[in-house]
Each structure stands twice: as structure tokens, then as C-alpha cells.
């Protein structure tokens, strides 16, 4: 008689077991927690990649050329075309793919509530069984494509608005944490004797502010008009004033006394990100006179609607703000997976504990497989449930980003810009600036608390 575990190959044990050894060959000195977050993030990025392929221009035309595949496409005698290619490509496919990822991560968010250490049986589910998790994700995805059109897209659009609003705040928190860690590391290097690090900090700070100021100038030139676009003028002016305020506050002597590693580098990064969110919001204004496409700005083409005002149904899927949004999304997702921060305020907001590096040497098991170090026997280093909630929100954000935050109109089969998307982005930028300002002044308001 053979034992069950003797029938499993080393690769199968990695796929089906409770130890996250899938990436350990590439990361021989990695912690259990880091590997798990990277693999879950890979699931999210894989779904994002599939969504990008589905929304590529001309994809439906290419699929219709496959004999016997799409309804209304090239047919094979005796075989009935079964696939509705209107659903598996375009914004409908993105909505369904991201719906599946949202459900997948929300499921694990619920399952992992109040997991305290790796000794909890649910921790084995969190840190292993990757093959079965992949099958679950595939199964939910397949089922999502059978959802009838009806009101699904309209309802899910508003779910996307709310989820993306929260995710933008999380992105800003991660950027604050990244800037804090960056500034702290370079200041410590400079204080150890190499003053070139100070020059590097100054250079990047000046670069970030220069880009932010250039963005403000371009916004006033191209996204406002003397007798129109009042909302844009208010948005640009308010965020410019708010960025100046947080920049001044960050270098006040009292702030520096309580937080010596706060400074203009963090404020410059936050200011630049705020200008990006402002730009992203203005590109969703349905008034085309106040919202010229980047292509029209470069080629000097008039993109305003005809006098009739009827939409043409043409959607520019790949615009500059969407591409920048994807880049920031990828950075924040990977950073959230590997971050090891000493910022107490950010750790509390992100439900993580203070980290101490990448971990010790991987452990070689009896089967000869190098496995990650279990650094969560006493307590978890991050909140499992909150991490999945973060990925759940990221799935909604990527759905909105890939569809340019357009609202689907089922009756007319077109996508339209909406003012709710504009207000969601702007309010998230204001709330994000408020959070950053709070991280600066909180130690002064509550001196008895530890904000180090």
C-alpha cells in the first residue's frame, strides 16, 4: 500500500499542500507572508492581463474569423456557432472578469476573518492549495460570463465607483508609506557620511514639484475655457491650494520636531499624485469642450460633439490617464505585497505589523524542497481579511480604469462619461490629502500617543 503523500510529486505538493513553496526557488530567503501576498497579487495581475486582452481594439473582429466560434461569424457546415462574442470582448468582458475577481477575493476576505496566527487551520488555506484556488477563480469567471445583461452593468458600475473611491485612498496611503520609507532610508544614508544622498533627495523633490506645477499650467490651458468649465477651474485651484498647504505644514519646525523624517519629498509625491487624480477626474467630464482627448491635443483635432449632441458610440479605451493609472496600480499592488514598514500610523491604517526585512533562510524539508520561513507562528504579520478586501477593491478599480470610468448604456450599446465618476475621483483626492495632513499634525494634537 502506498501512502497518499508518497504519490504526490514535489510540484504537486507545492500546488496542493499548505506550504507556499511555489516561489521559494526564486526567493530562497523569503517569509511565508510575503510569498502568499505575492501569489495572490499574481492572481490579480493575471486577471488584469486577461481583461486587457479582452478589451483590445479589433479583438471581436479577430474572434469572428475563427470558424465555428462566434455567433454571426465564420461558420463550419454542420456546426452551430455558440459563443456570443459581444460578451466575451469589450467592456462586458471586463465587467465580468473583474466581477469574478471581486467575488474570489471577497470570499477569502470573509473566510479569513480573525485569523491570528499560522496555527489557525484557515491559515493553511491562505498559504497553500494554490491549484484549487486557481480552479475556484476559473470557475467563478466562467460562471460570470453567463450572467444576463439586464441591469448587471448598471448596478456593477456603481459598485465600481464606490470600491474605486476607497482604493484610491488606499493607493495614496501606500504612496505616503513609500515616500516615508524612501525619505528615511536616504536621510540615514546621508547622515552616515555620504552627502550625495541629500542631493538625490533634493533632485527628486524638485522633479516632482516641477511636474506637478507643469501639470497645473497645462490643466488651465487645455481643460478650462474663459466662459466655461467652471468645475475644472475650481478643482484645479482647490487642489493647488491644498498641495501648497500640506507642503508648508510638512516642513514646519513643530512638525519636524515630532517627525524628523517628514519633509518635502513626501509632500511632492502626494502633490504629483493629486494632480494625476485631478487630471483623471477631468477626463471623465461629459462636456467635451472641457475634456479634449490627448490625441486631439497632440494632433490639434476638434473632438467636440456635433450640434445634435448625440453620442457616436466610439470609445477611446486606451488614453494616457488610463495607462498612468495602470502603472500606479501595478506599483501599489506589488508594494503592498512586499512592504515592510516602520511607519506606525500607516501600519495601523493598513492592518499590518512593523516588519523587519525579507526574512531568514528558507527551510529545506524532508522532501528536499526549499520552503519559505513560517514567520507567523506567534501572530500574523498582516491582516489576512483586510489584504483580500484590498485586492477586492483593486479588482473594482481596475475594472473602472480599463473602461475609462465610462457608464455602460445597455440600450444604446455605448459607453458614456458621467459626472459621478468625476466627483468620486475629486472627493477621493481631497480625502487623501486630508489623511496625509492628519499624519503630520496628529502627533501634535495627541502628544501622549505613539505615532513614531
Cell readout for 15 is 500546488
| pLDDT tens digits, 211-240 | 999 999 999 988 888 888 888 999 999 999
**Model pLDDT, residue 63:** 66
Cell readout for 31 is 517569509
| pLDDT tens digits, 124-169 | 888 888 889 999 999 999 888 888 877 888 888 889 989 988 988 8
CA distance 187 to 117: 35
CA distance 16 to 124: 10
Residue 23: is it exposed, middle or buried by C-beta count within 10 angstroms (0-12/13-18/19+)?
middle
Instruction: Write down the number of H helices and E strands in the chain.
Output: 17, 4
Tell me: pLDDT of 412 over 60: no
Q: Where are the beta strands (DSSP E) in 338-396?
A: 363-364, 370-371
Residue 421's alpha-carbon distances to 6, 67, 102, 174, 399, in angstroms, are: 55, 40, 20, 22, 13
**Model pLDDT, residue 140:** 93
> Average pLDDT, whole number, for the chain?
75
Mean pLDDT, residues 385-414: 78
Total Cβ atoms within 10 A of residue 366: 5
CA distance 112 to 352: 15
CA distance 347 to 390: 14
Higher per-residue confidence, 232 vs 289:
232
Confidence of residue 6 (pLDDT cuts 50, 70, 90): very low
Note the residue count of the chain: 452
CA distance 235 to 281: 9
The vertex-33 CA angle with 32 and 36, nearest 5°, equals: 85
Lowest mean pLDDT among 89-103, 107-121, 255-269, 342-356: 342-356
Higher per-residue confidence, 378 vs 130:
130
Confidence of residue 310 (pLDDT cuts 50, 70, 90): very low
| pLDDT tens digits, 8-49 | 444 444 555 544 454 444 444 567 777 888 889 899 999 988
**Model pLDDT, residue 363:** 53
Tell me: pLDDT of 241 over 70: yes
Mean pLDDT, residues 330-357: 61
Tell me: pLDDT of 118 over 80: no
Q: What percent of the chain has pLDDT over 70?
A: 68
CA dihedral 147, 153, 158, 164 (to 10 degrees): 80
What secondary structure letter does DSSP report for 423? H
**Model pLDDT, residue 303:** 44
Tell me: pLDDT of 70 over 90: no
Q: Which helix (H) or strand (E) segment is 351 a member of?
A: none
Mean pLDDT, residues 192-204: 84
**Model pLDDT, residue 237:** 94
Q: Which helix (H) or strand (E) segment is 408 a member of?
A: strand 407-409
Most confident of 144-158, 201-215, 255-269, 394-408: 201-215
380: helix, strand or coil: coil
**Model pLDDT, residue 2:** 41
Contact of 280 with 239, CB cutoff 8 Å = no
Its pTM stands at: 0.76
Contact of 360 with 373, CB cutoff 8 Å = yes
Confidence of residue 411 (pLDDT cuts 50, 70, 90): very low
Contact of 364 with 370, CB cutoff 8 Å = yes
133: helix, strand or coil: helix
Helices (H), 223-313: 230-250, 253-258, 264-282, 294-299
CA dihedral 286, 289, 291, 294 (to 10 degrees): 140
Amino acid at each position: 500500500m502506498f501512502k497518499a503523500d508518497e504519490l504526490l510529486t514535489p510540484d504537486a505538493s507545492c500546488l496542493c499542500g499548505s506550504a507556499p513553496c511555489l516561489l521559494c526557488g526564486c526567493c530562497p530567503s523569503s517569509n511565508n507572508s510575503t510569498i502568499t501576498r505575492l501569489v495572490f497579487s499574481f492572481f490579480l495581475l493575471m486577471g488584469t492581463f486577461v481583461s486587457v486582452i479582452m478589451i483590445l481594439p479589433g479583438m471581436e473582429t479577430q474572434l469572428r474569423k475563427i470558424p465555428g466560434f462566434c455567433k454571426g461569424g465564420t461558420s463550419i457546415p454542420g456546426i452551430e456557432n455558440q459563443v456570443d462574442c459581444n460578451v466575451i470582448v469589450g467592456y462586458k468582458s471586463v465587467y465580468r472578469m473583474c466581477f469574478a475577481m471581486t467575488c474570489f477575493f471577497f470570499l477569502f476576505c470573509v473566510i479569513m476573518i480573525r485569523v491570528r496566527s499560522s496555527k489557525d487551520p484557515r491559515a493553511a488555506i491562505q498559504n497553500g492549495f494554490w491549484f484549487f484556488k486557481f480552479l475556484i477563480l476559473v470557475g467563478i469567471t466562467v460562471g460570470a460570463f453567463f450572467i444576463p445583461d439586464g441591469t448587471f452593468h448598471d448596478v456593477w458600475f456603481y459598485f465600481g465607483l464606490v470600491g474605486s473611491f476607497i482604493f484610491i485612498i488606499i493607493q495614496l496611503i501606500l504612496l505616503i508609506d513609500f515616500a516615508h520609507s524612501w525619505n528615511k532610508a536616504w536621510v540615514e544614508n546621508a547622515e552616515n557620511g555620504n552627502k550625495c544622498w541629500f542631493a538625490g533627495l533634493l533632485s527628486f523633490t524638485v522633479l516632482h514639484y516641477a511636474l506637478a506645477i507643469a501639470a497645473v499650467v497645462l490643466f488651465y490651458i487645455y481643460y478650462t475655457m474663459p466662459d466655461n468649465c467652471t468645475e475644472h477651474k475650481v478643482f484645479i485651484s482647490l487642489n493647488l491650494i491644498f498641495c501648497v498647504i500640506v507642503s508648508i505644514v510638512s516642513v514646519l519646525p513643530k512638525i519636524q520636531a515630532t517627525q524628523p523624517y517628514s519633509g518635502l519629498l513626501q509632500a511632492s509625491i502626494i502633490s504629483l499624485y493629486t494632480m494625476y487624480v485631478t487630471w483623471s477626474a477631468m477626463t471623465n467630464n461629459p462636456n467635451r469642450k472641457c475634456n479634449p482627448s490627448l490625441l486631439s491635443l497632440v494632433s490639434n483635432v476638434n473632438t467636440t460633439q456635433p450640434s445634435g449632441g448625440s453620442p457616436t458610440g466610439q470609445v477611446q479605451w486606451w488614453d494616457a490617464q488610463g495607462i498612468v493609472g495602470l502603472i500606479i496600480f501595478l506599483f501599489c499592488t506589488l508594494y503592498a505585497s512586499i512592504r515592510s514598514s516602520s511607519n506606525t500610523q500607516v501600519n495601523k491604517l493598513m492592518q499590518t505589523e512593523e516588519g523587519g526585512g525579507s526574512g531568514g533562510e528558507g527551510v529545506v524539508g524532508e522532501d528536499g524542497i526549499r520552503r519559505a520561513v513560517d514567520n507567523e507562528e506567534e501572530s500574523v504579520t498582516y491582516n489576512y481579511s483586510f489584504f483580500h478586501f484590498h485586492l477586492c477593491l483593486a479588482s473594482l478599480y481596475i475594472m473602472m480604469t480599463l473602461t475609462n470610468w465610462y457608464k455602460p448604456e445597455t440600450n444604446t450599446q455605448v459607453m458614456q462619461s458621467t459626472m459621478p465618476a468625476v466627483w468620486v475621483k475629486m472627493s477621493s483626492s481631497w480625502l487623501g490629502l486630508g489623511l496625509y495632513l492628519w499624519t503630520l499634525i496628529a502627533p501634535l494634537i495627541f502628544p501622549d500617543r505613539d505615532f513614531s
